[in-house]
């Protein structure tokens, strides 16, 4: 990647797999801005989210405005770290639209981390109380049922992280 060319960083992985930690690191680089779904959802919709269907509804609303915003940043030459989950085919299709619209380079950071490690990290994260949302092991299991790893035919440049 040449200096000054914008890059779109995408995050894929189960809860507490390391997505936001990497997003924070990438977002601190010069010329990068991090946009975190959890931060926006916590401020705008926290009182409206009590189920997965609530999350999908609120996340979809956020995507409707955020897609154009991310495209504008990329077109302005700013690299974007999109700390939104790229965990399902529809979520990645939304992200693919941004890539196709802007023509920018991208990396899909895929965290292929075993569940038991994610759960241990989740407990640690919950104990610290610094994350906008806490999740239980039951919620982890429920949400993880919807996780679909990226496939080659989706056309992403995947960077895979394993333990």
Q: Which two tokens stand for residue 111?
A: 């965290």
**pLDDT, tens only, 60-104:** 999 999 999 999 999 999 999 999 999 999 999 999 999 999 999
Higher pLDDT, 125 or 117: 117
Domain boundaries, the chain: 7-162
pLDDT at residue 49, rounded to an integer:
86
Among 10-14, 45-49, 79-83, which stretch is predicted with the lowest mean pLDDT? 45-49
Q: In what order do the strands lie in the sheet with 158-162?
A: 32-36, 79-85, 7-13, 105-112, 158-162
CATH code matching the domain that covers 7-162, chosen among 3.40.50.300, 3.40.50.2300, 3.30.2040.10, 3.90.1150.10: 3.40.50.300
Confidence (pTM): 0.90
């Amino acid at each position: 990647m040449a200096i000054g060319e914008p890059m779109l960083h995408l995050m894929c992985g189960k809860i507490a797999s390391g997505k936001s930690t990497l997003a924070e690191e990438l977002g601190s680089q010069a010329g990068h801005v991090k946009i975190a779904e959890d931060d926006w959802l916590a401020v705008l919709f926290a009182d409206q989210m009590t189920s997965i269907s609530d999350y999908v509804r609120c996340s979809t609303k956020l995507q409707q405005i955020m897609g154009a915003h991310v495209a504008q940043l990329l077109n302005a030459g700013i690299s974007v770290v999109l700390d939104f989950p790229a965990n399902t085919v529809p979520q990645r299709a939304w992200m693919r639209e941004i890539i196709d619209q802007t023509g920018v380079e991208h990396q899909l950071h895929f965290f292929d981390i075993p569940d038991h490690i994610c759960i241990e990290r989740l407990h640690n994260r919950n104990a610290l109380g610094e994350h906008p949302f806490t999740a239980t092991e039951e919620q982890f299991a429920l949400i993880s049922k919807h996780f679909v790893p990226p496939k080659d035919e989706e056309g992403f440049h995947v960077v895979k992280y394993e333990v």
